[in-house]
Amino acid sequence: MTARILVCGGAGYIGSHMVRQLVERGYDVVVFDNLSYGNAAAIPQSVPLIQGDLLDTDALKALFAQNAFDAVYHFAALISVGESVSAPDIYYRNNVVGTLNLLDAMRTTGVERFVFSSTAATFGNPETPLIAEDHPKNPLNPYGRTKLMIEQVLADYGHAYGIRSVCFRYFNAAGADPSGEIGEAHDPETHLVPNVLLAALGARDGLDIFGEDYDTRDGTCIRDYVHVNDIASAHLAALEYMDANPGAHVFNLGNGDGFSIMEVIAAAEKVTGRKIPYRVGPRREGDAAILVADSSRAKALLGWSPATPDVETIIETAWNWHRAPKYGPFAK
Ligand code: UFG
């Protein structure tokens, strides 16, 4: 029988790439999304979209009563580090209470497999050049704390209720599906790669660089950019992994290479053939100086192998979507 998978947040950036991979592999997919940030057009027409909110427990009850899910992927969260510092209440409510509601709905209907989008922001400033899963967790912002809380909840729920889970700590998701049909856009856009490409397109008045006085090789923050489809492929492997391994599991997902903001700009200038205007401003609250992954656990235990580890290729896939008139952020 075809497995039926619930994808919460399936209309969002990472969720919509996940939905594509699941559909391509023949899974029966249902998307639950409040469309506060997601885009219904990013989901294939064959996939049912239930518009609803994780804070609406009646909607969740109905969803789980009407469908027998084999597993749940949870991508529906608020994700802006800076906003989480200025408005932590909505982050704790959406990311923590919303996830608890989802786990309650799973428990009451006997759904036992859960894949959770966690983040490198759970670590804080690293004590080692590469961050492995057991690195100390000292999140610098409420966003990171909401994700760490749910990781802890999942360990306890695994023990007490038999919920099997995999948490993926994404480093910096970037890039777009090679079809050029779906990609990354938020409103307002806060992420580096899309902002660099919007600046290349002249759709924004240059890039604002948040700080050049960090203790890094050029003073700007260093991140590990990982292709969105490589993140999705790890989630596919997680299904089988949970079958064989009860309990709660955590994996880092990154390429193990760090790029500064200036290096991302240089790579984007090469890919686009355009000059990217920028100005340097103050630091953004809640930012770590350097976040680079040690993903050897995902490679060893899930057989994960990123297909698109090169940062220029990652940016190129994003660029192909950004400039696609039919599908990009300015498609009508
Ligand atoms: N940055 C700029 N200008 C911009 C946007 C970003 O200078 O217009 C800087 C940021 O200050 C940061 C770096 O570029 O130093 C990357 O910023 P992003 O907002 O693209 O990504 P973050 O590293 O803040 O956060 C992302 C995801 C989080 C995730 C985190 C893990 O948004 O969900 O990666 O590393 F937790």
14 residue type, one letter? I
Task: Verify whether ligand 1 is closer than 6 Å to residue 261 (CB atom).
Answer: yes
Please give the pLDDT value at position 119. Answer: 97
Whether 140 and 274 map to the same domain: the answer is: no
Whether 121 and 33 map to the same domain: the answer is: yes
Whether 274 and 230 map to the same domain: the answer is: no
Question: Helix axis angle, 228-244 relative to 13-24, nearest 10°?
Answer: 60
Q: Give a yes or no: residue 327 inside a domain.
A: no
164 residue type, one letter? R
Give the burial string for 257-274 (b: 16+ CB within 10 Å, else e): bbbbbbbbbebbeebbee
How is 70-90 classified by DSSP, letter by letter?
SEEEE------HHHHHH-HHH
Q: Is 22 helix (H, G, I), strand (E, B) or coil?
A: helix
HSE at residue 44, side-chain half, CA atoms within 13 A, is 15
Q: Give a yes or no: residue 179 inside a domain.
A: no
Structure confidence by residue, pLDDT tens digits, 146-192: 999 999 999 999 999 999 999 999 999 999 999 999 999 888 899 99
Q: Give a yes or no: residue 107 inside a domain.
A: yes
Domain that holds residue 41: 4-174+226-253
CA of 171 to the centre of ligand 1 (A): 10
Whether 10 and 126 map to the same domain: the answer is: yes
Q: Tell me the percentage of the chain whose pLDDT exceeds 90.
A: 92
Give the CATH number for residue 295: 3.90.25.10
Q: Give a yes or no: residue 168 inside a domain.
A: yes
Contacts (Cβ under 8 Å, ≥6 apart) of 92: 142, 146
* Residue of 140, 262, 284 to mutate, ligand 1, most atoms within 8 A of C-beta: 284
Task: Verify whether ligand 1 is closer than 6 Å to residue 229 (CB atom).
Answer: no
Residue 74's φ and ψ, nearest 5 degrees, are: -120, 100
Q: Give a yes or no: residue 186 inside a domain.
A: no
The residue contributing the CA closest to ligand 1 atom 6 is: 192
Q: Give the CA dihedral 259, 264, 266, 267, nearest 10 degrees.
A: 90
* Residue 214 annotated to the active site: no
Q: Which of 64, 71, 77, 140 is nearest to 104 (CA)?
A: 64
Whether 200 and 307 map to the same domain: the answer is: yes
pLDDT score of 301 more than 70: yes
Whether 108 and 131 map to the same domain: the answer is: yes
pLDDT score of 1 more than 70: no
Please give the pLDDT value at position 123. Answer: 96
- 48-51, long-range: CB < 8 A, 24+ apart: 49/10, 49/11
Q: Give a yes or no: residue 282 inside a domain.
A: yes
pTM for the predicted model, two decimal places: 0.96
Contacts (Cβ under 8 Å, ≥6 apart) of 3: 27, 28, 70, 71, 239
Whether 126 and 261 map to the same domain: the answer is: no
Whether 232 and 261 map to the same domain: the answer is: no
CA of 250 to the centre of ligand 1 (A): 22
Distance CA 139, CA 127 (A): 13
Structure confidence by residue, pLDDT tens digits, 50-79: 999 999 999 999 999 999 999 999 999 999
Task: Verify whether ligand 1 is closer than 6 Å to residue 146 (CB atom).
Answer: no
Kindly provide the ipTM of the predicted complex, given to two decimals. 0.95
Burial of 280 (0-12, 13-18, 19+ CB in 10 A): middle
**From 27, 37, 143, 157, active-site residue:** 143
Give the chain's largest Cα–Cα span: 56
Q: What atom in ligand 1 is closest to the CA of residue 284?
A: 11
Task: Verify whether ligand 1 is closer than 6 Å to residue 264 (CB atom).
Answer: no
Q: What atom in ligand 1 is closest to the CA of residue 119?
A: 36
Whether 246 and 120 map to the same domain: the answer is: yes
CA of 222 to the centre of ligand 1 (A): 9
Q: What atom in ligand 1 is closest to the CA of residue 286?
A: 24
Q: Give a yes or no: residue 60 inside a domain.
A: yes
Whether 99 and 78 map to the same domain: the answer is: yes
Give the burial string for 219-241 (b: 16+ CB within 10 Å, else e): bbbbbbbbbbbbbbbbbbbbbeb
The residue contributing the CA closest to ligand 1 atom 29 is: 119
Whether 103 and 208 map to the same domain: the answer is: no
The residue contributing the CA closest to ligand 1 atom 14 is: 192
Task: Verify whether ligand 1 is closer than 6 Å to residue 79 (CB atom).
Answer: yes
Q: Give a yes or no: residue 28 inside a domain.
A: yes
Give the CATH number for residue 45: 3.40.50.720
> How many domains does one find in the chain?
2
* Residue of 148, 191, 292 to mutate, ligand 1, most atoms within 8 A of C-beta: 191
Distance CA 130, CA 293 (A): 5
Whether 145 and 103 map to the same domain: the answer is: yes
Structure confidence by residue, pLDDT tens digits, 198-255: 999 999 999 999 999 999 999 999 999 999 999 999 999 999 999 999 999 999 999 9
